[in-house]
Amino acid sequence: MDSITIALAQLNPTVGDIAGNLEKLRAARQTAADKGADLIMSTELFISGYQPEDLVMKPAFLAACEKVVEALAKDTTDGGPGVIVGFPRQGEAGRHNSVAVLDGGEIIAIRDKVDLPNYGEFDEKRVFVPGEMPGPVNFRGVRIGIPICEDIWGELGVCETLAESGAELLLSPNGSPYYRGKVDVRHQVALRQVIETGLPLVYLNTLGGQDELVYDGGSFGFNADRSLAFQMPQFAEEIMLSKWRRGADGWIIETGEMAALPIGEASDYHACVLGFADYVNKNGFKSVVLGLSGGIDSALCAAIAVDALGAERVHCVMLPYRYTSEDSLKDAADCAKALGCRYDIVPIEEPVTGFMSALADMFEGTEEGITEENLQSRTRGTILMAISNKFGAMVVTTGNKSEMSVGYATLYGDMNGGFNPIKDLYKMQVYGVSAWRNGARPDGMLGPERDVIPQNIIDKKPSAELRPNQTDQDSLPPYPALDDILECLVEKEMSVEAIVARGHDVETVHRIEHLLYIAEYKRRQSAPGVKITKKNFGRDRRYPITNRFRDR
């Protein structure tokens, strides 16, 4: 065989929807057949969806996955493309993260993942056992090595073993989640294996939001000479044909699509939209509701929601109190109008007064303070949850990573909600992403073009408006300084001494460190949200709630 056409299925599966994922792959195989492909490749654990977590501990789940792989194998009696399909299975030694190669009505080979990741968002060693070092699969006369995700990222030498045992090319199914700049990291990982093995390599990444993780696609292929043969888009499904020919020195991928990829704020925004859309749609919510305060966080969340779902599925509610400024009322109304979504005003004066009256005897002789401020927030949260219950709309919570880091949020108040699209964006990133969205509407988005967030929202000083003339900087350092300190503490795990050496005041750093630690109990009760940075609050950072350590 001197040429082969391999269809690459960069698709969006749903965890647990075994039948739906099977039908999605069957449809992709038919498309590949119509285009003359010899083989179609799917992504890591495609049949189960990725990551299935403890679902794979259920024997019934594994049996269902294995059953549909057998059914898919029977499809290949039609003489059409063979299939490389990812699925979990029960082996003699335990559960495996596997791929099956299907052709001629049979499962002609199974390969198991060798290197199981156990860091950050991954804990596969908890649910899978490693496979043995694999050899290549002979598919219609072509010896294909199939290293699964971490098998090319890790240091166990899986690709080298495949090359030494006769593999002519490497096809790697992946489940690699997004963070800013991840495409370049993947390219470097793949190039290292190309250099070490002298073989061409295809990196096929899965797509879609799964709880807090976003898989951004962005699949690609490198030839043995280290040249980029093709680049598939991020954040979009695609079935791409890669055409190969056998040269004097081995297999060569013909130059194909070179998709332009979003960078910086653009890629972050795409990730927020995809993660939000899939969370809402895959969990069956018909619509969403959020409190639109006139501030930048809720405005950006509203824009993301409209771009993800369409304006007709987004309900914005202004919940004013005596401290809500005229500017905020106007800004919220202008934002909802620009986005084209439903907008209602529900004043909270009466319910807040009712709470205060009920507590008057108990609170007699005490001074007003944070308790009364938080009652405003909790009243708003209660009203939004009532709207959610009545109309079946998921509440969107809108706190940024800076606020969640230091606990500048109210439990059972503004933290109420089912999902937070900006949970992993620091405040200054919120400003950057908002400014970017005002200047462009990405392809595939459902919202209006440009200027969806009024400029006054971006320009004005941020405020919770829970007391007269309040600004965030009454309680927190300026956001550029705060975000730098937080990034040093959270993402980089730097010492206080090292952070102070960057030019920050030592008492301020100690205070922020203390706030970060004592807010852990709040974060444990916060809604899930899209992972954007290398280290989000959740899987990536597992700190105890009860913790007396301070870096003194």
Q: Strand runs (DSSP E) across 73-219, as ranges?
A: 82-90, 95-103, 106-112, 137-139, 142-145, 169-174, 201-205, 207-210, 213-216
Same domain flag for 223 and 172 = yes
Domain-located, residue 513: no
Q: Which residues contact 183 (CB under 8 A, 6 or more apart)?
A: 216, 218, 234, 261
Domain-located, residue 492: no
Catalytic position from the list 65, 149, 272, 488:
149
Same domain flag for 278 and 246 = no
CATH code of 376's domain: 3.40.50.620
Q: Which of 428, 434, 452 is nearest to 336 (CA)?
A: 452
SS (H, E, C) 403-430: HHHHCCCCCCCCCCCCEECCCCCCHHHH
Query: Can you give the pTM of this predicted structure?
Result: 0.95
292 labelled binding-site residue: yes
CA gap 117, 99 in Å, rounded: 17
Same domain flag for 162 and 219 = yes
Catalytic position from the list 24, 66, 113, 465:
113
Same domain flag for 227 and 304 = no
| 316 catalytic residue (yes or no) | no
298 labelled binding-site residue: yes
398 labelled binding-site residue: yes
- Spatial contact of 512 and 482, defined as CB atoms under 8 Å apart: yes
Q: Which residues contact 505 (CB under 8 A, 6 or more apart)?
A: none
Domain-located, residue 150: yes
Q: Which of 509, 425, 517, 10 is nearest to 257 (CA)?
A: 10
Same domain flag for 111 and 245 = yes
| 70 catalytic residue (yes or no) | no
DSSP for 464-521?
A: --SSTT--GGGTS--HHHHHHHHHHHHTS---HHHHHTTT--HHHHHHHHHHHHHTHH
Predicted confidence at residue 474, as pLDDT, reads 67
Q: Strand runs (DSSP E) across 148-286, as ranges?
A: 169-174, 201-205, 207-210, 213-216, 220-222, 228-231, 238-247, 250-253
Q: Tell me how far CA of residue 328 lies from CA of 324, 325, 450, 462, in angstroms.
A: 7, 5, 21, 11
CA gap 336, 123 in Å, rounded: 41
Domain-located, residue 387: yes
CA gap 494, 59 in Å, rounded: 44
Number of separate domains in the chain: 2
Domain-located, residue 390: yes
Predicted confidence at residue 465, as pLDDT, reads 67
Same domain flag for 208 and 167 = yes
Catalytic position from the list 24, 44, 65, 535:
44
43 labelled binding-site residue: no
Domain-located, residue 118: yes
Q: Which of 306, 310, 305, 341 is nearest to 318 (CA)?
A: 341
Same domain flag for 196 and 343 = no
CATH code of 62's domain: 3.60.110.10
Same domain flag for 449 and 340 = yes
Predicted confidence at residue 444, as pLDDT, reads 87
Same domain flag for 284 and 422 = yes
Same domain flag for 360 and 233 = no
| 44 catalytic residue (yes or no) | yes
Predicted confidence at residue 442, as pLDDT, reads 78
Domain boundary among 405, 435, 461: 461
522 labelled binding-site residue: yes
Domain-located, residue 472: no
Same domain flag for 321 and 394 = yes
Domain-located, residue 473: no
297 labelled binding-site residue: yes
207 labelled binding-site residue: no
Place of tokens 């002609």: 108
- Please give the residue range of the domain that contains residue 299: 265-461
CA gap 434, 269 in Å, rounded: 9
296 labelled binding-site residue: yes
291 labelled binding-site residue: yes
Domain boundary among 253, 274, 307: 253
Domain boundary among 253, 275, 302: 253
Same domain flag for 38 and 131 = yes
Q: What are the 10-residue block averages of pLDDT along the chain, 552 residues in total?
A: 94 98 98 98 98 96 98 97 98 96 98 94 94 96 97 94 97 97 97 97 98 98 98 98 94 96 96 98 98 96 98 97 91 96 97 96 93 94 97 97 95 95 97 94 86 93 72 80 96 96 95 96 96 92 92 86
Q: Residue 400's CB: how many other CB atoms inside 10 A? A: 28
